[in-house]
Amino acid sequence: MNEFVSEIIDHYNHWITIFLMVAGLYVVVARGNMVKKLVGLSIFQTSVYLLYISPGKILGGTPPILAEGFEVYSNPLPHVLILTAIVVGVATLALGLGLVVRINEAYGTIEEEEIFEEGEEE
C-alpha cells in the first residue's frame, strides 16, 4: 500500500499535467462562450508544456555544461521545443481572439448557441 501511495506521489508532475489536460479539454467542450473556449484551449496546450519539460529535469542534474565533478546532466532539448510550442500557442490564441472580435462585429454575440440559431434563419 505504501509503495502504491509513494508511486502516485512520486509522479505528481504527471498528475498535474493530466489534471490540466482534462480540465482544459472539458472547458473547450462544455462552454458555449467563444472566449472561454479559447481559455480552455490554452490550458489544454499549457499541460503539454509540462508534459515535455518535467521529464527533462533529472533530480541532482546540472545544466549540460562539461565541468569536472559533475556527472549528471538534465536534457535541455525539451525546453527549446516548448519555447517553440509556446510561440505556436500564442499565435493560435491571438488568431482565435481576432476571429472572436470579427464574429462579435458580424453577429453581435459570441455565444455559440445564439450564433447557430441565427445561422439557421439564413
Partner 1 sequence: MTEQGLHLADQLPALQIALPLTGAVLCALIDRRGFGWFIATLVSFAMPVISIMMLAQVLTTGPISYAFGGWEPPYGIEYRVDIVNGFLLVLVSLMGAVVMPYARRSVAAEIAENKQAWFYCVYLLCLAGLLGMAITGDAFNAFVFMEISSLAMYVLIALGSDRRALVAAYQYLILGTMGATFYVIGVGLLFAMTGTLNFVDMAERIVAVEQTRPVLAALAFITVGMCLKLALFPLHVWLPNAYTGAPSVATVFIASTATKVAVYLLLRYYFSIFGAAFVFEDLPVTPILLIMSVAAMYIASAVAIFQSNIKRMLAYSSVAQIGYITLGIAEATPLGLTGAIVHLFNHALMKGALFMVMGCIAFRIGNCRLNNMAGIGRRMPITMAAFVIAGLSLIGVPGTVGFISKWYLALAAIENGWWWLAFLIMGSSFLAVIYIGRVIEMAWFREPTGAAAEATEPPLSMLITTWVLAGACIAFGIDSEMTAGVASQAAEALFAGLR
Binding site for partner 1 (CB under 8 A): 21, 25, 28, 34, 37-38, 41, 44-45, 48, 51-52, 55, 75, 78, 81, 84-85, 88, 91-92, 95-96, 99-100, 102-103, 106-107, 115, 119, 122
Nearer to partner 1, 67 or 83 (CB): 83
Locate 9 and state its grid cell: 506521489
Q: Shortest approach of partner 1 to residue 44 CB, angstroms?
A: 6
Phi and psi at residue 109, in whole multiples of 5°? -155, 160
The answer to whether 60 touches 72, Cβ cutoff 8 Å, is yes
DSSP for residue 64: S
Nearer to partner 1, 54 or 69 (CB): 54
The answer to whether 72 touches 58, Cβ cutoff 8 Å, is yes
